[in-house]
Amino acid sequence: MDLAAILLVPVVVVVTAAVIFLHSLVLKFLSTATVRNKVVVITDALTGLGKECAKLFHEGGARVILCGKTCEKLEGFADNLTSAADPKLTFPPKLVLVDFGDMNSMPDVIAETLECYGCVDVLILNSSLKVKAPVQSTSLKMDKLVMDNNYFGPITLAKGFLPSMMSRRTGHVILINSIQGKLAMPFRATYAASKHAVQAFFDCLRAEVQEYGISVSTVNHTFIISPPPGEKTKKSIWSIFSKQKVMGITPAEAANEILKILNSKKREVVMAHSLPKMAIYARSLFPNVFFAVMAAGVNNAAGVNNIAALADSEEL
């Protein structure tokens, strides 16, 4: 009996891993089928997360519109996407220059984007600008620039595409926000304020447009980590059990979660491990304790570094 029980353990592990792996493949297939022929707009498509989303949706047969600040880089990335995919199953990406630092250009951006295919089915708002500095050292000019990129830019695009979505009674807006839309950290006052503001806007928008069949989802993550250049991500059933428990998430993980959201229409996803999630609950349930911990961290150099590590990243 003991020998049989010992032999049974690895069999159960293998079978469980196989079932989970197959389940994830089925979900990915269903999610990919959801985006086929859909018009998908991705802002800041040249970041790590933007590229992963563009690759995933392009391969899934979506009509992808890539937005970014640099024409040459967008063209190069679009060429790479086209050459790596089957032209019979994919559409050539469309390119639109978008700079949220220039809010006067937004009407032209919206018009140009709508001209590509006549409508927008999915709007992925991925853009973000962060600043790390004490409040007294942050200029009003910087405050406004961060708000333009993190708040006014995304909401202006959303407003621009809403009439088309409402008339067609379909559409999905996905805001890639930060965990700082729910949790403010010292030395991130301007950044956290912009993320709180945009979170509140889309929470309100969700309720307002539900009757028109429009979905609004927010993704609050800690930070995006990228593997060192040249390092390839291993994919196997064993990776489910051996995944590193790090504070951040990879662009591929975030992109796959976004793809799932289109199928599930989940309203909110917090992509974070236990410690950041505990901090969110502590802020709501035990605010005085939370504030004391934050203040203690500011007074301690090591604490400041730990706080910064939670929020600091290339793509918050």
What is the DSSP secondary-structure string of 23-68?
HHHHHHHHHHHHHTT-EEEESSTTSHHHHHHHHHHHHTT-EEEEEE
Residue 316 is assigned to a structural domain of this protein: no
Predicted pLDDT at 288: 87
Rounded to 5°, the CA angle 159-116-43 comes to: 55
Residue 110 is assigned to a structural domain of this protein: yes
Residues 6+ apart with CB under 8 A from 237: 14, 17, 18, 20, 21
Residues 291 and 155 in one domain: no
Number of domains in the chain: 2
- Report the C-alpha gap between 308 and 138 in whole angstroms: 17
Residue 20 is assigned to a structural domain of this protein: no
Tell me: the pLDDT tens digits for 174-184?
A: 999 998 888 88
Residues 157 and 294 in one domain: no
Residues 57 and 190 in one domain: yes
pLDDT band for 186, please (50, 70, 90 cuts). confident
Residues 254 and 304 in one domain: no
Tell me: the pLDDT tens digits for 250-309?
A: 888 899 999 999 988 999 999 887 777 788 888 888 888 888 888 876 765 444 444 444
Residues 153 and 300 in one domain: no
- Report the C-alpha gap between 162 and 37 in whole angstroms: 20
Residues 300 and 255 in one domain: no
% residues pLDDT > 70 (the chain):
78
Rounded to 5°, the CA angle 194-45-142 comes to: 30
Residues 189 and 280 in one domain: no
Catalytic residue, chosen from 117, 151, 191, 281, is: 191
- For 302, the domain range is 274-311
Q: What is the pTM of this model?
A: 0.79
Q: Give the residues across from 137 on adjacent strands.
A: none
Q: Which of 194, 191, 195 is nearest to 132 (CA)?
A: 191
3-state secondary structure of 308: helix
Would you call 117 a catalytic residue per the annotation? no
Lowest pLDDT segment from 118-132, 136-150, 295-309:
295-309
Predicted pLDDT at 1: 53
> Do 187 and 138 touch, CB atoms closer than 8 A?
no
Q: Which two tokens stand for residue 118?
A: 């006549």
Residues 132 and 60 in one domain: yes
Residues 154 and 199 in one domain: yes
Residues 6+ apart with CB under 8 A from 224: 47, 48, 49, 248, 249, 250, 251, 254, 313, 314, 315, 316
Residues 6+ apart with CB under 8 A from 222: 178, 179, 247, 248, 249, 271, 272, 273, 276, 310, 311, 313
Residue 130 is assigned to a structural domain of this protein: yes
CATH number of the domain that residue 115 is part of = 3.40.50.720
Top pLDDT among 234 and 280 is at 280
Residues 279 and 142 in one domain: no
Residue 135 is assigned to a structural domain of this protein: yes
pLDDT beyond 90 at 77: yes
Tell me: the pLDDT tens digits for 4-54?
A: 666 666 766 677 766 655 645 555 554 566 788 999 999 999 999 999 999
Average pLDDT, the chain: 82
Residues 260 and 278 in one domain: no
Residues 6+ apart with CB under 8 A from 35: 57, 60, 61, 62, 122, 259, 262
Residue with tokens 């976004």: 258
pLDDT beyond 90 at 242: no
Predicted pLDDT at 108: 95
Residue 16 is assigned to a structural domain of this protein: no
Residue 17 is assigned to a structural domain of this protein: no
The two beta strands, 63-68 and 94-97, are parallel
- Report the C-alpha gap between 58 and 81 in whole angstroms: 7
pLDDT beyond 80 at 115: yes
Predicted pLDDT at 8: 67
pLDDT beyond 90 at 80: yes
Residues 110 and 203 in one domain: yes
- Report the C-alpha gap between 74 and 44 in whole angstroms: 10
Residue 12 is assigned to a structural domain of this protein: no
